[in-house]
Copies of this chain bind each other. A is one copy, B any other.
């Protein structure tokens, strides 16, 4: 199956960003089965859960069980979202390989999301990075610094791109291992993505930058294309487009993992992911969820006639 095609890494965030938006709590066994199937399908990275204080989000009360399970799976990096240093400490104790900590581009959104000022959040990120650096090399976790509402916020509206780029610079100075730019409420468009990345990528240097797009207003895949054109090779996506944001009314879903795998493989990129298995997983998870919770296209339409993954004619882009 090796073709020399360029690799794009998709981080499956359905178990965290997807389930977070659903009122129904998914059984821990179903979450474990989802992780196993995702690893078998070839996903290199899964955002497993959120290490919020116990009781705060019942959906993630089983965080330790899911994390423990993912550690048994080969060739997959499990990441967890943490809201603060305490979450990072818990992640470290549980042996999580990668943790994501979010600062919002919008002060109001940061307050709504974690009830803290951005200044406090930045301080917390410094303490998390210090925790990382205090650990023996073999036990060191990676830190993803995420910027939420990077393309706008449902409270403040437009967000100034220059301010986002300054915030990115701060996160990079603190020493994050990956910078994640998130269009939490689906306000981004390809022109904004281009303006943002033109300013942001030179700052990032060798630090990988990932994008987290929501398809709330139908621009998700066009935003991916704009980011690909800028050389981005890491994307978050959620199986079936599950997700949204509890603090952003009408923000109805991440870009769908299966549609992203299809887009990338059709364009000649190598996701390392078996698209047939993703479609199968999609249908299995849909059966565990309320009707119409999933909004992706591919599982409904199926693959094109005569499709053979990565045997599509080049050149890519």
Q: Footprint of B on A, CB under 8 Å?
A: 152-158, 185-187, 189-192, 194-195, 215-222, 224-226, 250-252, 256, 259-260, 262-263, 266-268, 292, 296-298, 300-302, 304-307, 313-317
* Chain B residues closer than 8 Å to A305, beta-carbon distance: 152-157
In the complex, the answer to whether A301 meets B217 with C-beta atoms within 8 Å is: yes
* Chain B residues closer than 8 Å to A297, beta-carbon distance: 215-218, 252
When chains A and B are docked, how far (Å) is the Cα of A306 from the Cα of B253?
Answer: 21
When chains A and B are docked, how far (Å) is the Cα of A297 from the Cα of B223?
Answer: 15
* Chain B residues closer than 8 Å to A300, beta-carbon distance: 250, 252
* Chain B residues closer than 8 Å to A157, beta-carbon distance: 304-307
Selected from B154, B222, B260, the residue in CB contact (under 8 A) with A221 is: B222
In the complex, the answer to whether B152 meets A266 with C-beta atoms within 8 Å is: no
* Chain B residues closer than 8 Å to A195, beta-carbon distance: 313
Known contacts A221-B221, A225-B222: A189-B250 contact under CB 8 Å: no
In the complex, the answer to whether A152 meets B304 with C-beta atoms within 8 Å is: yes
* Chain B residues closer than 8 Å to A260, beta-carbon distance: 218
* Chain B residues closer than 8 Å to A314, beta-carbon distance: 191
When chains A and B are docked, how far (Å) is the Cα of A298 from the Cα of B302?
Answer: 25
When chains A and B are docked, how far (Å) is the Cα of A316 from the Cα of B305?
Answer: 37
Copies of this chain in its oligomeric complex? 2
In the complex, the answer to whether A298 meets B191 with C-beta atoms within 8 Å is: no
When chains A and B are docked, how far (Å) is the Cα of A184 from the Cα of B301?
Answer: 13
In the complex, the answer to whether B252 meets A218 with C-beta atoms within 8 Å is: no
* Chain B residues closer than 8 Å to A186, beta-carbon distance: 301
- Within the complex, what minimum Cβ distance (angstroms) separates A316 from chain B? 6
Known contacts A153-B305, A225-B225, A301-B216: A189-B263 contact under CB 8 Å: yes
Selected from B155, B266, B313, the residue in CB contact (under 8 A) with A219 is: B266
Known contacts A192-B266, A268-B191: A218-B259 contact under CB 8 Å: yes
Selected from B187, B216, B251, B301, the residue in CB contact (under 8 A) with A252 is: B301
In the complex, the answer to whether B301 meets A219 with C-beta atoms within 8 Å is: no
When chains A and B are docked, how far (Å) is the Cα of A187 from the Cα of B276?
Answer: 17
Excluding A191-B268, A195-B313, A217-B297, 12 further A-B contacts by CB distance (< 8 Å) are A157-B307, A158-B306, A158-B313, A185-B304, A191-B266, A217-B304, A218-B260, A219-B262, A221-B221, A250-B301, A250-B302, A252-B300
* Chain B residues closer than 8 Å to A225, beta-carbon distance: 190, 222, 225-226
* Chain B residues closer than 8 Å to A313, beta-carbon distance: 158, 195
- Within the complex, what minimum Cβ distance (angstroms) separates A91 from chain B? 33
